[in-house]
Structure formats: C-alpha cells, structure tokens
Structure 1
Amino acid sequence: MITQVDFFKCLSDPTRLSILKLVLNKQNICVCELQEQLELSQPKISRHLALLRAHAILVDTRQGQWVYYSLNPNLPDWAVDILNIMARQDDGLMKSQSEQLVSISTFCE
C-alpha cells in the first residue's frame, strides 16, 4: 500500500502529474499516446510510469504488443479523492490535452 509521503512525492514531479491527469482523463492510455501528448521520449515516459507502477498508483495491462496504463482500482480512498479533485480542476493544461486526446493518431490500435 502506498504511503501518503510516496503518493505526494509522485505527484510533485510535473511529468508524473501530467501522466496522471491524462490517465484520469482517458482511463486507459498507451505509452505512444503519452509520448504524443507530452512530447517526451518513450524512455523518459517509461521511467515515470515505472515509478507510478512501483508505488501501485497505476497498473498496466498488455493487449497484444501494447501496454495500457490505468489507475490502480485498489488505491486507498484518500488517494482516489485527491485524484478526483485533480481531475475536476480546469487548469488549462487538461482542457488542451483533453481536446488533443480526441484527435490523437496513434499506432496503438
């Protein structure tokens, strides 16, 4: 189970925070979609995803050759509450990312 300190350490990094916001928005997201949205390299995104998985904030599911990430359904209630508050915030970033998610052309499918 994740501690509050580890949870907030994960949220303190701008890249991990952006990844979590995209996961919250899309529910189930592939690395290639994160690459396109965040304009970062696959190794950098994978390193952040590995930390989020190690702390059990995200879980991964393999579908063919692709790996999709989603929130861990077993997160403590306090963590889910915080993430839900984040999801409701309109900070401009989420609005632009949300609009772009609709138009993403990925090779994941």
Structure 2
Amino acid sequence: MVLTVLSALAEPTRLAAMRILDDGGEHCVCDLMRRLDATQSRMSRHMQILKQAGLVSDRRDAQWVRYRLRPDLPPHVRALVTAALVDEVGV
C-alpha cells in the first residue's frame, strides 16, 4: 500500500489536488478542474488514481463528483501524505 500511495502522490497534478483537499473540506471536481487548470477527463482520471490508492473518498452530487481526504487514513499513511504536502519553498 505504501508504494501505491507514494506513486499516487508523485504526480504534480495529484499532489496539487491533495493540497487543495487537505483543507478538510469537500471539493467538487469542477472546482479542482478550475483551480488546477485541468480538463474534466484529466481531473477525473487523477482523482480515480487517488481513490484507488485509498487517499480520497467521493460522493456523487447530481452531475458532479465531490472529493475529500479520507478521514480514516491509517496513521502511517497520513504521515506520508503530510510529508508529501510540505511546501518545498525554503527547504
């Protein structure tokens, strides 16, 4: 599972999406598309990979899907996510 998580977080668009979701809220794929300048198909593909890695959960809302970080991430996975989300500026 650790390798799957690291692989999912290694892609810049997915990492950026995780930074957005790290605010604890639920975000519509349309919001992620706008903020990350991505097409719907590209964003959906990235979010599916994050979901398969067990990092996010989703909820259908009419025509859109809303994503959020899974609140029940195991501590070691949460530690990986936290480390990956550290801003690299000033490092």
TM-score (norm 1): 0.71
Which runs of structure 2 are paired with 1:65-104 in the superposition (5 Å)?
A: 65-87=63-85, 89-91=86-88
Partner of 2:32: 34
Partner of 2:19: 21
Structure 2 distance, partners of 1:42, 1:26, is 22
Percentage identity across paired residues of the two chains: 29
Q: 1:21, 1:86 within 8 Å by CA — same for their partners in 2? A: no
Structure 2 distance, partners of 1:85, 1:12, is 12
Residues 13-45 of structure 1: per-residue CA shift (max 9 Å, x gap)? 011101111111252111110111011111000
Partner of 2:58: 60
Structure 2 distance, partners of 1:33, 1:50, is 16
Counterpart code for 2:36:
L
Give 1:79 deviation, angstroms.
Answer: 1.5
Partner of 2:42: 44
| Consecutive unaligned residues in structure 1, runs of 5 or more | 93-109
TM-score (norm 2): 0.83
Counterpart code for 2:6:
F
| Consecutive unaligned residues in structure 2, runs of 5 or more | none
Task: Let me know the Cα RMSD of the aligned residues.
Answer: 1.8
Q: SS of 2:23's equivalent?
A: helix
Structure 1 distance, partners of 2:80, 2:25, is 16
Distance 1:39 1:55, change over 3 A: same
Q: SS of 2:82's equivalent?
A: helix
